[in-house]
Structure 1
Amino acid sequence: MKIEAFLLAMVLILAAPFLLWRLLGLERFFPIVVVQIVSGILLGPGVLGRAFPGYYAAVFTPEAVGALGGIASWAVMIFVALAGIELDMHAAWNDRRESFITAGLALGTPLLCGSVAGACLLAFDGWIGADASAPQFVLGVGMACAVTALPILVLLMERLGILHAPLGQRILRYASVDDVVIWAVLALILVDWSRLAAQACFLLAFPLAAFAFRGLMRRFGEDDRWFAVLVWIPVCAVAADVAGLHFMVGAFLAGAVVDAGWLGRTRLDAMRHDVLLAFMPVFFLSTGLRTHWSMSGRAVLLATAALLLASVGGKLIGARLAAKVLRWPVLEGRIVGWLLQTKALIMIIFASVLLDRAIISAATFTALLLMAVASTMLTVPVVAPLLARLRHAERSHACRATVASVPAELPDRRARRYA
């Protein structure tokens, strides 16, 4: 491999998103990760490869793409494991009625809407993968529409200033419950009946291995725990892959059995930031290289629009139903729905697994990828004014409550002063 091609590809991968993000002033609306995903698509064969085929072939040689693919696989394994580590199921269980009602409706409604969209795509050639059955395809597309990107949700809520507020913590609980269900459904989709014995062995052996691993972790100091986790992740990933499940399922399970407190919250946040900064852009480029425009661009865009409608509309309907059951203000239900419909990374990872297993075609993957980008880009511009209205309503309510608490016998002048 010519190292120059690999290094030039790395320069493009790291520089292009940052320049777009800064020069266009996009930092006011999106975290850089959203721009990195878009840049990965622009640097792929459907855009850069079509506009400048000679330059594209010179930079993204087969050897360079292979090296980038190895970095991307390691990056996404760490990232998915971190998503598993950061799950907070204890908090969700403490408020289980609210958490499970909201998470169930916010997952089930877009799953149903997305499954309907997937069933409609089945009526046309070129969307289902070569190795998929119709139920696998429909369930896979439906779940892709129902995914919430928990790590990106954290970044967006941090930008909106509600991450540590009660509303932000509630939304994290709902997303955590959904995350567990999403990976469980993915494992169900990937069940290979010809390798059912191997997959059953993995699922039976994993709890025993996790029990032993957790026992070791309790004996280690924090630094040693980090080394142990970095070994544990690829061990679980390769075991899952050999069993016929995808290596990302193994990576998620590896993280899910690790307590975040063992590794330190500050170091976990720094690790997530560093992985997003230094390694995940390579995964976004690798994702962009897999986009496929052999079908007409109009067909892909129409499919994207249908999937976006199912995804966003399903989340908003589900959150509205939860708000009605739990008697939230309507405005609060809309905020919850818009934040939970954030797709970005986890949906892209989910769709990548489906593409790897030939459950969806490259055209479907492209439509899902565009849907994920659009849904994530909509979040901050829509939620920011809704939050401003909610805060204004809360201030008005607090002011009215203060006035109402003034004793009736106080003179009007003092009552006005309280108001």
Structure 2
Amino acid sequence: MSTDSMVTHVAAALAVVITASYVLGAAARRLGQPPVIGQLFAGIALGPSLLGLAPGRIYEMLFPEQIQPILTALAQVALVFFLFAVGYELDLRLLRGRGAVTAVSLGGFAIPMLLGAGVVLLFPGGFSSANGGHPVDATFTLYMAVALSITAVPVLASIIRDQGLAGSGPGTIAMASAGVIDALSWPVLAVVLVGGAHGSAQTWTVRVALLAVYVLVMIFAVRPLLMWWMYRPGALMTNHVPIAVAVALGSAGVTSALGLHVIFGALLAGIIMPRQPDGVPDNQLLRPLQETGGLLLPVFFTISGTAVELGGLRASDLLLLTVICAAAIVGKVAAGSLSARVARMPWRDSLVIGVLLNTRGLTELIVLDVGLQAGVIGPRLYALLVVMALLTTAASGPLLALLRRPAGTSPAGPTGAQPGGEKAPGTRPGPEPGQSPAADAEPAPRP
């Protein structure tokens, strides 16, 4: 395929992907679901499971094999921008003096981890069959523990806003706890990838040592240099976005070279990026990266959907899917609710927090994509886990409506607080990926 032909195919594919993602994302929002549900369905529909069955080889014409590396690269760049924004907005200071956030964070992380590992130990044959020859070992067990502990912060923010919980006690505690849970999950996932890397013990030791050195360099050398550059005299009107993009992409490239996924370098770059003097993220730096990442994220959904081969599932996989979903729901809803109750939250607010933490969405898809690329999970189990992510995320809205209906109280407005709840200062549901913070009236259908 010539360069001109490749450019033509890439442009046409991007037009179809972005349009389908926008339309189905908007349709999902009208149905009371997060846009990520519709966007992932768009990715699956554009993959071999549906579009690949259409006559006339439409799938091969729209997504020829030659452009797959380009689309994959664009999807990874989208993840770099998205995870950089996640790291930049992460604020662990919310844990200080917040007993409910601490309890819910620890419970919502540890209990799902234990259940994820437990189901693997209880049903090793089922996982071995669905994993397509990939080993069901300690690395796989730890990976499943992480996969069931994830909560999707951007999708959670969307649900909180749509349900009128923004600023309420349950909403702010769930948002803060979800950020802490994911902050704890990413390092464990990195350990999974490093521990599961092929090679000798010496190679593994060298890789871990290099990773540790790199983290120290980023914290004690790159961050002070960035602070000097951003706060130097005359830097007030300087555009810091190119610097942030360069740091994010460069850091992602380093972690990829060390055998980890690009998302870890992007997340680390966001964490070490200096904030404003008052500790608040610089919106002029954050917003362009969110919008760019949000524009490219439909390509990631398409790449993720392409790997979902529903036709390859077997009847026996239904039982395993039921087990996985049960462990995922119990692990989050029960753990979040009981942890909030231990922190003396009212039962109804505690249940709302548990349901909110059961939202997985985009972040879960990133974890699944990492596991698939690393060879930890196979295509069949990947498809089952994607279905689990869809079901648990889609269930959040109806469950919240069911919980709040009997009380007869109206949902808390954007600045209201639920009875019995506490409002965590400095916590606010941020915009979804690619959405302007000012676009609260009618948010764009982003995941």
**TM-score, with structure 1 as normaliser:** 0.86
Aligned to 1:265: 283
* 1:84 and 1:252 in contact (8 A); partners too: yes
Which position in structure 2 is the counterpart of 1:31? 34
Counterpart of 2:328 (choices 275, 289, 311) is 311
CA, structure 1 residues 35+82, in 2 after alignment: closer, same or farther (shift >3 Å)? same
Q: Which runs of 5+ in 1 are unaligned?
A: 399-419
1:225 and 1:394, CA in 2 relative to 1: closer, same or farther beyond 3 A?
closer
Q: Is 1:72–1:282's contact at 8 Å kept on the other side of the alignment?
A: yes
Counterpart code for 1:320: S
Q: For residue 198 of structure 1, what is the aligned residue in structure 2?
A: 207
Contact 2:88 2:271 (C-alpha < 8 Å) held by counterparts: yes
How far off is 1:129 after superposition? Answer: 6.7
Aligned mate of 1:365, from 365, 382, 399: 382
Q: Which moved more, 1:79-88 or 1:49-58?
A: 49-58
- 2:113 matches 1:111: yes
Structure-1 separation of matches of 2:405 and 2:223: 44
> Given that residues 128 and 137 in structure 1 are in contact (C-alpha distance below 8 angstroms), is that contact kept between their aligned partners in structure 2?
no
Q: Is the contact made by 2:109 and 2:181 (CA closer than 8 Å) also made in structure 1?
A: yes
Q: Given the alignment, which residue of 337, 342, 363 partners 2:354?
A: 337
**CA-based RMSD:** 2.6
Distance 1:20 1:187, change over 3 A: closer
What percentage of residue pairs aligned between the two structures are identical? Answer: 24
Residue 230 in 1 paired to residue 218 in 2?
A: no
2:315 alignment partner, SS class: helix
Aligned to 1:80, what secondary structure does the other structure show?
helix
Amino acid at match of 1:256: I
Flag the structure with larger Rg.
1
Q: Which 5+ residue runs of structure 2 have no aligned equivalent?
A: 413-417, 420-447
Contact kept in structure 2, 1:129 and 1:359, CA below 8 Å: no
Instruction: Tell me the residue number matched to 1:143.
Output: 146
Is residue 2:188 matched to residue 1:170? no
How is 1:283-362 mapped onto 2 (pairs within 5 angstroms)? Answer: 283-293=300-310, 295-362=312-379
- 2:8 match: 4
1:303/1:131 Cα in 2 relative to 1: closer, same or farther (>3 Å)?
closer
Deviates more, 1:240-249 or 1:135-144: 240-249
Q: Which residue of 2 aligns with 1:411?
A: none
Q: Deviation of residue 260 (structure 1)? A: 4.4
Name the residue aligned to 1:209: 218
218-227 vs 149-158, greater mean Cα deviation: 218-227
Structure 1's 266 and 228: CA in aligned 2 closer, same or farther, altered over 3 A? Answer: closer
**Offset of residue 274 of structure 1:** 4.4
Cα deviation for residue 243 of structure 1 reads: 1.8
Cα gap change, 1:202 to 1:65, in 2 (>3 Å)? same
Deviation at 1:53, TM superposition (A): 6.8
Equivalent residues, number: 394
**1:130 and 1:359 in contact (8 A); partners too:** no
1:390 Cα offset (Å): 5.9
| One-letter amino acid of the structure 1 residue matched with residue 365 of structure 2 | I
Paired residue for 1:413?
A: none
- 1:109-144 Cα offsets, whole Å, 9 max, x none, are 222222233335531444347665511111211211
Cα distance, 1:20–1:224 mapped onto 2, change above 3 Å: closer
Paired position in structure 1 for 2:86: 83
Instruction: Provide the C-alpha distance between the structure 1 equivalents of 2:86 and 2:133, rounded to a whole number of angstroms.
Output: 30
User: Contact 1:129–1:355 (CA<8 Å) still a contact in 2?
Assistant: no
Match of 2:396 in 1: 379
Return the alpha-carbon distance in structure 2 between the equivalents of residues 233 and 17 of structure 1: 26
The question of 1:241 aligning with 2:256 is answered yes
- Bigger drift between 83-92 and 12-21 goes to 12-21
Asked if the contact 2:164/2:411 (under 8 Å) is kept, the reply is no
Tell me which residue corresponds to 1:218.
Answer: 227
Separation (CA, whole Å) in 2 of partners of 1:128 and 1:257: 37
Question: Secondary structure at the residue paired with 1:190?
Answer: helix
Hey, what's the Cα distance between the residues in 2 that align with 1:158 and 1:35? 18
Check 1:141–1:264 CA distance in 2 against 1; reply closer, same or farther (3 A cut).
same
> Could you list the per-position Cα deviations for residues 55-75 of structure 1 after superposition, in whole angstroms to 9, with x for gaps in the alignment?
111111012222111110100
Instruction: For residue 232 of structure 1, report the CA deviation from its aligned partner.
Output: 1.0
Structure 1 residues 98 and 19 mapped into 2: Cα distance closer, same or farther (>3 Å)?
Answer: closer
Seen in structure 2, the aligned counterparts of structure 1 residues 279 and 243 have a Cα distance that, compared at 3 Å, is same
* Residue of 96, 99, 102 corresponding to 1:100: 102
Quick check: 1:132–1:358 contact (8 Å CA) kept in 2?
no
- Provide TM-score, normalisation by structure 2: 0.81
Indicate if the aligned counterparts of 2:84 and 2:269 stay in contact, CA closer than 8 A: yes
SS in 2 for 1:279: helix
Separation in 1, partners of 2:56, 2:166: 44
1:183 aligns with 2:215: no
Question: Structure 1: how far apart are the matches of 2:109 and 2:117?
Answer: 12
CA contact (8 A) 1:331 1:390 kept: no
1:236-290 Cα shifts (integer Å, max 9, x gaps): 21221222222222221111222443752365256424422x1000000010111
Higher RCO structure (Cα 8 Å, ≥6 apart): 2
